Amino acid sequence: MGMTITQKIIARHAGLASVKAGQFVECALDLVLGNDITAPIAIEEFEKCGAGRVFDPAKVALVPDHFTPNKDIAAATQCARMRRFARSHDIVNYFEVGQMGIEHALLPEMGLVVSGDAVIGADSHTCTYGALGAFSTGVGSTDMAAGMATGRCWFKVPAAFNFRLTGRPGPYVGGKDVILHIIGLIGVDGALYRSMEFSGEGVGALTMDDRFTIANMAIEAGAKNGIFPVDEQTLAYVREHSDRSPVTEAADSDAEYEKTFSIDLTQIPLTVAYPHLPSNTRPVAEARDVPIDQVVIGSCTNGRFSDLRAAADVLRGRRVAKGVRAIIIPATQRIYLKAMKEGLLETFVEAGCAVSTPTCGPCLGGHMGILAAGERAVATTNRNFVGRMGHVESEVYLAGPAVAAASAVAGRIASPDEL
């Protein structure tokens, strides 16, 4: 039996000719990632085990993005510990406030991940890099510590689901709508410890930013990873951002998939996920009487430049509804600067939005937009669990940037064509 893309990458990094689902292997790693919440725990375990130095200072990335700029003394203490570790171990890819961004937008932008890589990160949305045709997955802080020390990690080889995509998305429909539709179809544990592999001619109709969004939320279906085939769009992105040579893997024609799903992109509507699960989805057209208090456009899921442009196109010449707070968070400094040069920030401010420096902030209920009891938000983030963005009696509705922007103007969940 042949291998999937994920299995081929795992086999190569394990030094094996082939692997099969359920097999336990140990792999060499191309990158180990941590942030200001997870890295301090990993550092503590790293020091407990007596490791003298990290395995490669150029293959560890530390990004303070969750509670930064520091929201309080505890956050400052976390970041200080990570900063000291980065200095003492000469970590090449430590990104300070002012240079940093939201980790899963920053690392591809900096060219630190390319096709064919094996990457672990002490953050569940590390699966984002599957958009580049890399095997990337979230791990706990203890596994991160071991990865920093040895450059290796163990895995159980995942079985795979195949999502065959056809057609092209309709107006305003993007990667967020596609992945919400899929999660609504299979459930939040529908792909538990599986590799979600995307294929078909419809892949070519998705931008790289669409693919980053889809791979980012594979974990919201319980998946071990999400991964796309490498095509010319992928290679062009890698050439633009990295001087490393990608390794292209393709699924064998007889690769084994537990299930195959056919997804016609032309049939996917603008979609919103109701509280309190990403799988609680319905078309925006069925969600028009939900008044809101806040809109957040940003995060590792939808804070890229195309997301900001989509929001600005809706907000241009319009105003945020009275009583609604709209917060825009560019995912990296480079995206912030490009949005500034192209006038998008001016559009946001004129519409009545607040624009933030890059941060994960409100996505995890950290800062920059916490909800009070009874408040509702539409957010381009990835999770809407109970209390995710603040009080346990608040509600988060997940949507793409165009719907989020339209909702800010309407004061309720809305699609752009309603305005």
SS (H, E, C) the chain: CECCHHHHHHHHHHCCCCCCCCCEEEEECCEEEEECCCHHHHHHHHHHCCCCCCCCCCCEEEECCCCCCCCCHHHHHHHHHHHHHHHHCCCCEECCCCCCECHHHHHHHCCCCCCCCEEEECCHHHHHHHHHCCEEEECCHHHHHHHHHHCEEEEECCEEEEEEEECCCCCCCCHHHHHHHHHHHHCCCCCCCEEEEEECHHHHHCCHHHHHHHHHHHHHHCCCEEECCCCHHHHHHHHHHCCCCCCCCCCCCCECCCEEEEEEHHHCCCEEECCCCCCCEEEHHHCCCCECCEEEECHHHHCCHHHHHHHHHHHCCCCCCCCCEEEECCCEHHHHHHHHHCCHHHHHHHHCCEECCCCCHHHHCCCCCCECCCCEEEECCCCCCCCCCECCCCEEEECCHHHHHHHHHHCECCCHHHC
Question: What angle do the packed helices 141-150 and 39-48 form, to 10 degrees?
Answer: 60
CATH number of 271-414: 3.30.499.10
d(CA 388, CA 362): 9
Q: Are 63 and 196 in contact (CB under 8 A)?
A: no
Q: Top-level CATH class of 5-243+258-263?
A: alpha beta
The candidate with the shortest Cα–Cα distance to 379, out of 397, 354, 352, 361, is: 397
In contact, 51 and 59? CB cutoff 8 Å = no
Residue 52: per-residue pLDDT: 86
pLDDT range class, residue 18, cuts 50, 70, 90: very high
Q: Matching CATH topology for 5-243+258-263 and 271-414?
A: yes
| Token couple for 139 | 């791990």
Residue 288 reports pLDDT greater than 80: no
pLDDT one-digit tens code per residue, 315-339? 999 999 999 999 999 999 999 999 9
Domain boundaries, the chain: 5-243+258-263, 271-414
| Distance separating alpha carbons of residues 392 and 82, to the nearest angstrom | 30
Structure confidence at residue 217 (pLDDT): 97
27 has a pLDDT exceeding 90: yes
Q: Say what the pLDDT of residue 1 is.
A: 75
User: Which amino acid does the sequence have at 49?
Assistant: C
What pLDDT sits at residue 365? 87
Residue-averaged pLDDT of the chain: 95
Antiparallel, parallel or unpaired: β 259-264 and 225-227? unpaired
Instruction: Give the tens place of pLDDT for each residue, 29-77.
Output: 999 999 999 999 999 999 998 888 999 999 999 999 999 899 999 999 9
**pLDDT at residue 120 greater than cutoff 90:** yes
Q: Give φ, ψ of 248 to 5 degrees.
A: -100, 120
Q: Taking Cα atoms as reference points, which of 83, 77, 84 lies closest to residue 98?
A: 83
Q: What confidence score (pLDDT) does residue 102 get?
A: 95
Average pLDDT of span 205-234: 97
| Alpha carbon distances (Å) from 141 to 71, 118, 121, 124 | 22, 17, 8, 11
The answer to whether residue 153 scores a pLDDT higher than 90 is yes
Instruction: Tell how strand 259-264 and strand 271-273 pair up.
Output: unpaired
CA gap 367, 390 in Å, rounded:
9
The pLDDT value recorded for residue 318 is: 97
In whole angstroms, give the CA distance from residue 416 to residue 403. Answer: 6
Asked if residue 373 has pLDDT above 80, the reply is yes
Q: Of all residues in the chain, what percent carry a pLDDT higher than 90? A: 94
**pLDDT confidence of residue 68:** 86
| CA dist., res. 337 & res. 328, Å (int) | 14
Question: By percentage, how much of the chain surpasses pLDDT 70?
Answer: 100
Residue 412's pLDDT is 96
156-210 pLDDT tens trace = 999 999 999 999 999 999 999 999 999 999 999 999 999 999 999 999 999 999 9
Q: Is 10 exposed, middle or buried (0-12, 13-18, 19+ CB in 10 A)?
A: buried
Residue 371 — φ and ψ, nearest 5°? -95, 140
pLDDT score, position 51: 84
